[in-house]
Amino acid sequence: MTAIKKIWKFISSMRFAIILLAVLAAACTAGSLVTQGQDYAWYARRYSERTAALILALRLDDAFHSWWFILISAFLCVNLLLCSVLRLPQLIRRTKAAADPRAALRAPDGALAEGLSDPRPVFRRLRMPAPVESSTDDGRRALFAAKNRAGFWGAWICHLGILLLIAGFGLGQMTQKQYAVYGVPGQSRPIGDTGCVLRIDDFRVDLREDDTVAQYTADITVFGPSGEGGTGSSATVSVNNPASLFGMKFYQNSTGWAATVSVAEKGAPLQEEIVCAGEYLLVADKPDLAICFNAFYPDYVMTPGSRPATASGRLNNPAYLYSVYYREQMIGMNVLMADEELTIDDYTVTFSKPQNYTLIQVKADRFTPLALLGGLITMLGLLLALYVLPASVWAVQTGDGSWTLHGASRKGGALFREQVLRAAQAERTAPEKGDKNDASD
Amino acid sequence: MLQIENTLFTIVMLAYFAAMILYFTFIGVQKEPIAKAAVSLQCAGFALHTAALVCRGIGAGRLPLTNQYEFATCFAWGLCLVCLVFVFRYRFTVLGAFAAPVIFLIIGYAAMQSREVRELMPALRSNWLGFHVSTAIIAYGAFGVSFVLSVIFLLRDRIKAGGFLDHHIPNREKLDAISYRSVSLGLLFLTFTIVTGAIWAERAWGSYWSWDPKETWSLVTWIVYAIYLHLRIRRGWQGRSAAVFAAVGFICVMFTYIGVNTLLPGVHSYA
Ligand code: HEM
């Protein structure tokens, strides 16, 4: 055999599949043990500088998107594809052969039971289809039945499903678009670079009596690339209930607090903006000056350790943690209550109208259905491979007119032979209308 | 209702414990009727266990499948269910004897967890949760049984030929075949678990697969058992090697179940 032929054979072999699967499992293990997505400093602090350098060099910080992970997956796909294509003719042959009495009748398998006067009830007990008449090479009468031939296709279908699944997942990873849009009711925001606009019409947080959150619900309207002038489509999204609009899927992802920040200059109103916690506002006529709205406490309390905290999720005693930056240098940080004012030179700043903003995640992945189809086909294939076990049973008439019984199942093995035996015994002890329970499996 | 569940849970633990002792006595004194009593007691314990889970479900107003306690007690339930099915289907009482300590260990682990009923965060309030976790329970139960079968297989060689245990434990070939059936059941249900989990994650978080450690470890477990199936097809890999492999697979299952929650961070930290 030439070297190329050898390589070809190896690449399409099950041995290679096993090696690849083992390597893939090891890769997944590595990826799960190393915290993903951190930077050098983080790993150096957590482990050591040497380990950190190694992690980054091996791309273990983003193992599941690393070139070697993709390479293993690609090899697995090639292996699966080749093995599926190359084995197809053999599979068709095997499926056909399983229905052919001659092959079974020539098999050297020993008889499982002897001296049966009529084997047909045993076939029934074993839930075999009605046996067909045949004859052995030496001219004796024979009965033959095969069942569950679909099971031969299980592994093949399963492999096809896995291929579709990996393809769907990979294509999705390469082409999917994801955006996060957040705002309070009444606000409209662009959806990334799609040209579409998302308007938040309403947002509700349903609290239970014990203050835990039961559900977050947002009413949204999405306008196509022609903008808010065009006709929009509305939907309600809540956790576990996304909506599909304009080829994108909208998820209620998370929430937080926003407040209206008002700035006055020498007593005259200058600016009023809705700012989400974590964001900042640049003073309109003095952009060197920034007010950062760091955090919000709806039910403000001071912990014994002098840290600000909230006693509940209800708006009983709202307080705002802010910081002030001048030319990107922080010049102050404090907590402001609802009725207080912050004065910086000529400017006075107040926080008011706290409300929940919603974060809507927007996702477009055209290949999700392909991956889903792959998953379903994989399940179907496994069901066939593992639970529809092909089996055949045949009986041969002996010189004295009685029958010997044979049975074989490539995967059922010892258990199937035992079933055949038990069915034959049951037929001997309680012939004809015996109970059929023993024919299970 | 939760009070009733509490009482039932204690009775179930006692029943499983007593069944275990009876099983051991059966092997010790080698009398058939004791085996019957042990199996009956395990069945009774299982029935009460089912009742306890129903009570908790009614008391909590939802499926009892969402925290460590609930999942642990369901795991014991699933293992007991699959064990009994195999005991009856393959007329294999000794399997019950070997499984009983494992069942007792898991329900003991459940007893150590907090039994408080907490309200569910919105992401967990989904019908997919029911499909996802109930298939996981069967998968874990089946893998648990395959682990027990592996142990029996590995001990089989040390059993005196022609003795009492030799008579009650199927021969190597049949034992191997039964083990294959339990791994098949487990792998099929683990596949259901992963697919339903992915569908649910897609609805709840917008991403059906995000390499969260629990997801990754369920995939590792899935791959390990897939390797088991492929190795079995190769000559020389049935029997002992397969038994060792299935036992290793169960270590992955246990790591996915407990190790990931305690040792690795992730969105599955609640269950
Ligand atoms: C994660 C990936 C895979 C899974 C889950 C999987 C699953 C299966 C299953 C369930 C079976 C049937 C086993 C049995 O009947 O006991 C099987 C058989 C088989 N698999 Fe895979 N497989 C995978 C990857 C591969 C790959 C990459 C190859 C590439 C060559 C491969 C080649 C085979 C072969 C040749 C058989 C024998 C089929 C038969 O005897 O009917 N598998 N596989």
User: How far, in whole angstroms, is CA B187 from its chain's centroid?
Assistant: 12
The encoded tokens of residue A15 equal 């041995």
Shared domain check, B131 and B79: no
Distance CA A222, CA A235 (A): 8
Q: Which of B89, B118, B147 is the last residue of a domain?
A: B118
**Higher pLDDT pick, A239 / B265:** A239
Q: What is the pLDDT of residues A7-19, one digit of tens each?
A: 998 999 999 999 9
Contacts of B184 in chain A (CB under 8 A): 386-387
Contacts of B211 in chain A (CB under 8 A): 31-32, 36, 64
Of A18, A21, A251, which has the smallest distance from its Cβ to B206's Cβ? A251
Q: Which of B99, B118, B137 is the last residue of a domain?
A: B118
Q: By the 8 A CB rule, do B12 and B48 touch?
A: yes
pLDDT at A182: 87
Shared domain check, B168 and B51: no
pLDDT at A432: 61
> Of B184, B200, B179, whose CA–CA distance to B132 is shortest?
B200
What whole-number percentage of chain A has pLDDT above 70?
A: 97
Mean pLDDT, range A62-74, rounded to an integer = 95
Among A21-35, B42-56, B255-269, name the one with the lowest average pLDDT: B255-269
Residue B268 has pLDDT above 60, yes or no: no
> Of B215, B202, B190, B196, whose CA–CA distance to B267 is shortest?
B215
Shared domain check, B213 and B149: yes
B194-214 as b/e: b if 16+ CB within 10 A? bbbbbbbbbbbbbbbbebbbb
Shared domain check, B101 and B142: no
Mean pLDDT, range A409-431, rounded to an integer = 88
Shared domain check, B127 and B110: no
Shared domain check, B74 and B132: no
Shared domain check, B134 and B43: no
With CB atoms and an 8 Å threshold, state whether A215 touches B125: yes
CB A80 less than 6 A from any atom of ligand 1: yes
**Higher pLDDT pick, B237 / A441:** B237
- Give the count of beta carbons closer than 10 Å to the beta carbon of residue A38: 17
Residue A155 alpha carbon to ligand 1 centre in Å: 5
Shared domain check, B248 and B127: yes
Tokens 């927007």, residue? A362
Residue nearest to atom 43 of ligand 1 (CA): A155
Contacts of A21 in chain B (CB under 8 A): 223, 226-227, 230
B49-69 as b/e: b if 16+ CB within 10 A? beebbebbbebbebbbbbbbb
Tokens 């085996």, residue? B35
pLDDT at A227: 67
Shared domain check, B253 and B198: yes
Cα-Cα-Cα-Cα torsion A155, A159, A160, A165, nearest 10 degrees, comes to 140
Quote ipTM for the complex: 0.91
Distance CA A279, CA B246 (A): 53
Residue A18 alpha carbon to ligand 1 centre in Å: 9
CB B231 less than 6 A from any atom of ligand 1: no
B125 inside 8 A of chain A by CB: yes
Distance CA A147, CA A138 (A): 26
Shared domain check, B129 and B41: no
One-letter amino acid of A75: F
Mean pLDDT, range B149-177, rounded to an integer = 87
A90 inside 8 A of chain B by CB: no
Residue nearest to atom 23 of ligand 1 (CA): A159
Distance CA B267, CA A367 (A): 24
CB A388 less than 6 A from any atom of ligand 1: no
Shared domain check, B214 and B111: no
Residue nearest to atom 14 of ligand 1 (CA): B229
Classified as helix, coil or strand, A49 is helix
Chain B interface disruption, residue of A32, A65, A249, most B CBs within 10 A: A32
CB A159 less than 6 A from any atom of ligand 1: yes
Global pTM? 0.89
Domain assignment of residue B74, given as a range: 1-118
Among A98-107, A311-320, B231-240, name the one with the lowest average pLDDT: B231-240
**What's the domain count of chain B?**
2
Tokens 């379903």, residue? A376
Contacts of A251 in chain B (CB under 8 A): 205-206
Shared domain check, B212 and B109: no
Residue B150 has pLDDT above 80, yes or no: yes
Q: What is the pLDDT of residues A180-204, one digit of tens each?
A: 998 888 888 899 888 899 999 999 8
Q: What is the mean pLDDT of chain A?
A: 89
Q: Which of B98, B118, B138 is the last residue of a domain?
A: B118
CB A83 less than 6 A from any atom of ligand 1: yes
Which residues share a beta bridge with A290? A282, A325
